[in-house]
Amino acid sequence: MDKILIFGHRNPDSDSICSSIVYNNLKRAQGMDTEAVALGEVNDETRYALNYFGLDAPRVIDGVKEGQPVILVDHNERQQSAPGIEKAKIKEVIDHHKVANFETSSPLYFRAEPLGCTSTIMKKIYDEQEVDINKKMAGMMLSAIISDSLLFKSPTCTLQDKLAAEELAAIAGVNLEEYGIAMLKAGANTKDKSIKELIGLDAKEFDINNKKLVIAQINTVDTKEVTERVEELEKTISTDIKERNLDAFVFVITNILTSNSEVLVMGEDKDKVAKAFSKTLINNFMTLEGVVSRKKQIVPPITEEFNK
């Protein structure tokens, strides 16, 4: 029997990687033949967490074969999953996003909760099944919650996320605030990355009412480090739009210190994206004050506008 692969979405963020590792640890402790893998290289933020807690990054795969048993974490939409996912055997899904274009040929365990982070659900599962959480697994879950909630600044963050993080920080033996800031800053470095790397670090593809969009997001402590490279940004994004036949590319540059985002929008439907926020693009840019969450503050208004 094939080993069950556990993975998050493409262009993985900390929650995708950490949830895969944590769930794999649980499944293996229960005697299952599983492996945590990734659909892309880990980013700087995730690497900081892995190094801090002495764990290796999962191996990267470029697709799954027909009949491959898999468990999806932190996603459920096919276009965000592994190439070949439509022919794989999906055994479980653990997620905190909306459910879209999802269908299987056989029953499965599907758990989706409206929380700020998949790893918060993972902690609940550990507790429900009375499995001890060791320091490394606590560190992974804590790191994911910090990342997805921007240290509790994101509107997606719930009381359950905060309480879980506090408990996990105690188990991991870290100061929650100090560790969180250090980890977020490690992932906010943009100077030594190419534009192609920046727009692909955390990019998700969405199909909305027969329109194909990519919404990418990066965190920084100085948005000017990115926006001043506008010519290269527009050239690279234009190429991506043509190659992938996109109707719009939305690039969100979030300042983790001010909780504001500068957004570059390109493509034939760029003005429709701006209209979703009652904004007018100026040189393809708009400013969204107090906007930090793609899942709760960006995707919903765009979806609503494109479904009109």
Length of the chain: 308
96 annotated ligand binder: yes
13 annotated ligand binder: yes
User: How many C-beta neighbours within 10 Å does residue 274 have?
Assistant: 22
Beta bridge partners of 37: 59
9 annotated ligand binder: yes
97 annotated ligand binder: no
Beta bridge partners of 5: 35, 70
Return the structure tokens found at 45.
């933020």
148 annotated ligand binder: yes
User: How many C-beta neighbours within 10 Å does residue 273 have?
Assistant: 26
Cβ burial 87-102 (10 Å sphere, 16+ → b, else e): ebbbbbbbbbbeeeeb
247 annotated ligand binder: no
Annotated binding site for Mn(2+): 9, 13, 15, 74, 96, 148
Annotated binding site: 9, 13, 15, 74, 96, 148
